[in-house]
Amino acid sequence: MKMNVCFSVILMFLSIFFINGALSKLERLKHPVKKKSDGSLSFLVIGDWGRKGGFNQSLVAHQMGVVGEKLDIDFVISVGDNFYDDGLKGVNDPSFEASFSHIYTHPSLQKQWYSVLGNHDYRGNVEAQLSKVLTQKDWRWFCRRSFVLSSGMVDFFFADTNPFVEKYFTEPEDHTYDWRNVLPRNKYISNLLHDLDLEIKNSRATWKFVVGHHGIKTAGNHGVTQELVDQLLPILEENKVDLYINGHDHCLQHIGSHGKTQFLTSGGGSKAWRGDVQPWDPKELKLYYDGQGFMSLHITHSKAKFIYYDVSGNVLHRSSLSKRSAHL
């Protein structure tokens, strides 16, 4: 009897393995859930920021601190382009302190930061940003290429979108990219897509958010990243992901349709004001602000609220999703 039970368990495991393919290799983390009266989770999102305080980075950082205190945030998410113009030179690059530790000094921002890499980060020493040495310098810092973060009712799937962009390989111009541990590119992308799809499918969280650097739907200067539209978007749609959060375009933006994945851009951490907007369906484009700022999210089991703020802390846009009937 015991042998039959064991054999059945083994068969079940093998069937799951062969149906899903190899198990996911993405690093998984858990952020402790803080006890709040409403059981909520709150965090800020900032992108495209690391300029040693310049281009209003310090002003944005101050307002992040003010909002972070009001919301009693749990952590901060960085959607990449953490250090301009060409990432970090190494673990002892003073830009780390000058653009991060010495800028985001408000007490409310002394929380864990979860970061992905942007294209400018890949123009420097990628391994430096991923190194635990930086965490020893500033405990808040955590950066990986791709990983999964669970916190209460939310699962976050952080994805390295940089290798998807073909022109970085075929038309690098005068830039040098650090593709260590990425090549061969096709295998890297294939493995990442497999792992993301598997992790999202296996998630039992109420909310599922995917975080990357490049935009999938955007009216910004860079335009849509076609490689992500072709390869990542189908996974988001099939798995009914609630939010895709990105930077890259130096603006604040909300694109979405009723009952579908919402696309939120928070790339206004410093240099902005590009002055150009791509045509987009006004029924989908809920916000486009060509300036500096950031975003906050407040999540409960039934509702996800997100708010965009400008460099002075003024509210530019509010919206929410409900698990019972998604609305904008």
User: pLDDT for 231-266, tens place per residue?
Assistant: 999 999 999 999 999 999 999 999 999 999 999 999
- Look up the pTM and report it: 0.92
Is pLDDT larger for residue 307 or for residue 323? 307
Residue 4 pLDDT grade (very low, low, confident, very high; cuts 50, 70, 90): low
Q: Looking at residue 23, what is its pLDDT?
A: 83
Out of 102, 106, 194, 222, pick the active-site residue.
Answer: 222
How do strand 262-266 and strand 252-255 relate by DSSP bridges? antiparallel
* 222 noted as active-site residue: yes
Strands (E), the chain: 27-30, 41-46, 75-78, 112-115, 141-143, 147-151, 154-158, 207-211, 243-246, 252-255, 262-266, 285-289, 293-299, 303-310, 315-322
Q: Looking at residue 224, what is its pLDDT?
A: 97
pLDDT at 207 over 90: yes
Tens-place pLDDT, residues 139-181? 999 999 999 999 999 999 999 999 999 999 999 999 999 999 9
Tell me the average pLDDT of the chain: 93
- Tell how far CA 138 is from the center of its chain: 20
Residue 219 pLDDT grade (very low, low, confident, very high; cuts 50, 70, 90): very high
- Tell how far CA 281 is from the center of its chain: 24
